[in-house]
Amino acid sequence: MTRILGLDYGSKTVGAAVSDPLGITAQMVETIVREREDKLRRTLARIEALVAQYKIERIVLGYPKNMNNTLGERAARTEEFKAALERRTGLPVILWDERLTTAAAERVLIERGVRREHRKETVDQIAAALILQGYLDSLSLEERK
C-alpha cells in the first residue's frame, strides 16, 4: 500500500503527517510555516515535495466544521485549498471532519508536560496526525464490515 498524507490547514501553518506504508498509523512529519495567508505557492510546493518524498497516493485534509455542523469562513478557505491541492498534485483530496483535533492535540502536549511556549511548534503536526489517524481508523472499520 502506498501512503496517505494528512494535513491540518491553518492561516499561519499547515501541519503534516503521513501514514505508515500499511496504512495503519499516522506519524507526524512537519509544520509548514506560511508567510501570508493569501500566498499559497510555497506551501503547495512543500506539500508537492512531501507527496514525492513519501510516494503519497491521496491526501486527507482537515475540514473545520462548526460544532453545530455548519460551515463557516474557515471551511470555505479549506475548500479553496483543497481545489488548489488537487490541481497542483493531481491527487484526490478527502475532506475529513477535524472538530476538536487541535484541542485534543493541545491536551496531548499538556499531558506530556510541554510548556505553553513550545506547544505551537508541534500542535499542528499532532492535529494532522489525529486527522489522518481518524481517517485510517475509518478505513480499517470499513474493511472489517
CATH number of the domain enclosing 124: 3.30.420.140
Mean pLDDT, 10 residues at a time, over the chain (145 residues)?
Answer: 90 95 94 86 96 97 88 92 97 92 84 84 90 92 66
- Comparing C-alpha atoms, which of 132, 133, 63, 52 is closest to residue 90? 52
Q: What angle do CA 85, 139, 142 make, to 5 degrees?
A: 140
C-alpha cell, 81: 485549498
Q: What angle do CA 63, 72, 96 make, to 5 degrees?
A: 10
Domain interval for residue 31: 3-144
C-alpha cell, 58: 491521496
Tally of domains within the chain:
1
Give the pTM.
0.91
pLDDT value of position 145: 61
pLDDT value of position 144: 62
